[in-house]
Amino acid sequence: MILAPGRGVLAQPSPPPPTVEPLIEVRVAGDSLKRVLSVDVAWPSGLKPRFPRDEASTLSGRSVAPVGASKSGFVPIDQNPDWASACEREGCRLAYSVDVARGIATDRRGDWGFEEKQRIVMAPLVRWLVRPEDRRARGRLRVDFDGGKNFELVSGVMDGRVNHIETDLVVMDGPHVVLGDFTHRAIDLPGGRIDVALGRGERGVRDEDLLTWIREGAQDVVSLLGRFPVSRLQVIVASGGPYAVGSAVTMGMGGASIFVVVGERTRKADLLRDWVMTHEMLHVAFPNMGFRQRWMEEGLSTYLEPLLRARRGRYEPQKMWAEFVRAMPQGLPKDGDQGLDRTFTWGRRYWGGAMFWLHVDLEIRRRTEGARSLDDVLRGVLGAGGNVALRWDVARLAGVAENASGTTALREIYDDWSEKAVAPDLGALWTSLGVRADKAERITFDDQAPLARIRRGLTHKGGSLAVASSGGPS
């Protein structure tokens, strides 16, 4: 029976209407010859706008007009000191130009500034797009780009499309946006899709060879996690230059993208034995940890990349261990070095980080008698929603690691290694693992060594070996 209000039954209050987040709408016209962007922004009320810091005068003609005003209604922001507050109160339109060529010539910001590689322009939004003054502000961003036939905007945001961005404002902190002339392909994987933007230029391999290379690197990570770590990844390939595989960078915060340079002399054999793509794909599977813990990101990819390729038969275990024996001492602390959170040299970041993860992996395997490993930690990160699009801190990572491995190994080793310079005895470690290297760096294995079973498990197809009930090797 349904009782009407007023007859003994109180009417249920209506649920509050959903909160509508402010939307910043941007239209951009790009001129590929002049390398200039013309930007028109419909700015919503409730957010106070701020232009990027611009010492090189890359931005010009900054002007503001009331909402709905015609072009003649724009006035330079210099003539209206209250322009930002007025935009916050009532909304507004903003218009300005971006001299990309000047930005390329003057920027010294690395991944966070304008940069050109083989005719592809890195153009992060943080460098040229007006944004909320409060970096924590909630809202949405929509960007529509029109650069004509041969000038496209490609981004790594999760729901981005060519010449279009529509996502959360967090993407403004990500160095995802590139401009150039591309052909487009796609790779479907369990759990996700890779959109591949191939830049124009000379390279020594066919498109299909590049796609196979990208797919194999992704499959290395799928073999570890069971599925691809993000629903969408953008891979941008710049073509040209003297190297087989040149520089590469993985970009996060609000999305996931990989930028890599493939040279004119590249051959199919170079791609088959290359490690770069697997290294970068591992970055996609791990959260942004911040500047002080950048070594955790780089060290994880440095450590796990050769293991994953060995497990899939793409790298011989003897060669993998020879690489570790040869290269890992570069991560040992030098005079004056501090902990990994306080020393930012190349060797400490990459190979010091790799040593850290090797010790975490070995300790988890030792404490659990091979039942758990670093593999479980990475699967736990995936299950908790972690990937390169998000920022985590060490406490969150350590909590996930404890739940996934049943040990506090990661937290304990981090507390030790992050603050002071720890120099493990690598020679003794190789001996305990049964790794023997002669003067020519040829590797033989001692299967009677104390940790030989763990060593075999590291490169075993499944990432571990079963442990007999007696605790002996299987």
Q: Confidence band (pLDDT; 50, 70, 90) for 19?
A: low
Q: CB-based contacts of 331: which residues, under 8 Å, 6+ apart?
A: 299, 347, 348, 350, 351, 352, 353, 354, 355
**For residues 245-265, average pLDDT:** 90
Q: CA-CA distance, 23 to 420, in Å (whole number)?
A: 46
* pLDDT at 112 (0 to 100): 74
pLDDT at 146 over 50: yes
pLDDT score for 2: 36
The amino acid present at 17, given as its one-letter code, is P
Which residue ranges make up each domain of the chain?
Answer: 23-173, 182-284, 306-459
CA separation for the pair 97, 128 (Å, rounded): 9
With a cut of 50, say whether residue 368 has pLDDT above it: yes
pTM: 0.90
Q: What is the C-alpha separation between 236 and 259, in angstroms, rounded? A: 5
d(CA 194, CA 210): 13
Percentage of the chain beyond pLDDT 90 is 78
Q: Tell me what the mean pLDDT of segment 406-427 comes to.
A: 97
The CA distance from 263 to 189, in Å, is 26
A 10 A CB-CB count for 178 gives 27
The pLDDT tens digits of the residues spanning 310-325 come to: 999 999 999 999 999 9
pLDDT-based confidence at residue 469 (cuts at 50, 70, 90):
very low
Please check the confidence at residue 292 and state whether its pLDDT lies above 90. Answer: yes
Measured between alpha carbons, how far is 461 from 379 in angstroms, rounded to an integer? 16
- Of 3.30.2310, 1.10.4160, 2.60.40, 3.90.1580, which CATH number belongs to 23-173? 2.60.40
**How far apart, in whole angstroms, are the C-alpha atoms of residue 90 and residue 92?**
7
Q: Which residues contact 114 (CB under 8 A, 6 or more apart)?
A: 58, 100, 103, 104, 107, 121, 122, 123, 127, 128
Angle at 43 between CA 37 and CA 46, to 5 degrees: 150
Q: Give domain 182-284's CATH architecture.
A: Orthogonal Bundle (1.10)
pLDDT in tens, 84-121: 999 999 999 999 999 999 999 998 766 578 999 989 99
Compute the CA torsion angle 233, 234, 239, 245 (nearest 10 deg).
Answer: -30
> 94 by DSSP, 3-state: which?
strand
